[in-house]
Amino acid sequence: MIAKESSDPVFSVKTSARRKAAARFVAVGVSAAALSLAVPAVSSAAPVTVIPGGPTIEVPELPNLELPGAPTKPKPKSTPKPKPKTTEPAKPNVPAMPNVKTSTGYVALAVDGAHTIYWWKNGEFIKEMPISMGSNAHPTPNGVYHTKEKYRDMYMDSSTYGVPVDSPEGYRTYVEYATRMSWDGIFIHAAPWSVQQQGNTNVSHGCINVSTENGKWVYDNVGRDTPIVVRGTVGGQYTGD
């Protein structure tokens, strides 16, 4: 059965009002839906550009790209600070090395006025030692000696060169670290009994007296045929070897 529209004026006015209200409701719903589509989700949607009266265009987010050929600022080079030069000052009052030949690299110079023996190795000064050489009664002759045999310990006996042991000038003394300088009885050797005089005065019978430590150093390091030059004594000139 088909219902006919009533011709009643009141009924027509009410029907028209209902239709207009329904149309407004539909329009509001459509606008809300369109608005929800136009606004992107905050957390996941890509940025959009909205042109009034036009379509909505999605613009993808561009990655950070470096332009080719773009000048880059060079990093400043760090200039290292120069290291201070460490130069060991020359030893004061060290005489020049004697101009003598050596087969061992070592050269020694015993200076009476300084009561000191100086040592060089391969042309470089390395060591000095206080010494006591022969007294005025038994002076050590000046000249160039060369080391010979060595004795870890020995007895030095004045009778070996004609002075009896029991005479006023005689002696028989136990010594350590003795290195022979001449065949007539001159040695450089440890003499702990004359340490107080070493570096100050001459009290030996002609040998070069040094401390036990220095006597050991000569014994351990200085090879046979090393030149030892004696200079400045009152003992004349050494001629033998």
* CATH code of the domain containing 118: 2.40.440.10
Question: Residue 2 belongs to what H/E stretch?
Answer: none
Q: Which two tokens stand for residue 103?
A: 């087969």
Residue-range definition of the domain harbouring residue 199: 106-231
Q: How far apart are CA 241 and CA 239, in angstroms?
A: 7
Measuring CA to CA, how many Å separate 220 from each of 16, 148, 224?
133, 13, 11
Q: What is the pTM of this model?
A: 0.62
Positions marked catalytic:
189, 207
Give percent above pLDDT 90 in the chain. 54
Question: Are 138 and 176 within 8 A, CB to CB?
Answer: no
Q: What is residue 39's predicted lDDT score, i.e. its pLDDT?
A: 44
Q: What is residue 229's predicted lDDT score, i.e. its pLDDT?
A: 98
> Is the residue at 163 inside a domain?
yes
> Is the residue at 225 inside a domain?
yes
Q: What is residue 212's predicted lDDT score, i.e. its pLDDT?
A: 98
Q: What is residue 36's predicted lDDT score, i.e. its pLDDT?
A: 44
Residues in the chain, pLDDT under 50: 1-14, 21-22, 25-46, 48-50, 86-89
Q: Write the CB contacts of 154 (distance below 8 Å, at least 6 apart in sequence).
A: 174, 175, 178
> Is the residue at 16 inside a domain?
no
Q: What is residue 183's predicted lDDT score, i.e. its pLDDT?
A: 94
What is the number of helices (H) and of strands (E) in the chain? Answer: 2, 11
Q: What is residue 40's predicted lDDT score, i.e. its pLDDT?
A: 45
> Is the residue at 180 inside a domain?
yes
User: How many domains does the chain divide into?
Assistant: 1
Over its C-alpha atoms, the chain yields an Rg (Å, rounded) of: 56
Q: What is residue 159's predicted lDDT score, i.e. its pLDDT?
A: 85
> Is the residue at 1 inside a domain?
no
> Is the residue at 85 inside a domain?
no
> Is the residue at 239 inside a domain?
no
Question: Residue 154 belongs to what H/E stretch?
Answer: strand 150-157
> Is the residue at 202 inside a domain?
yes
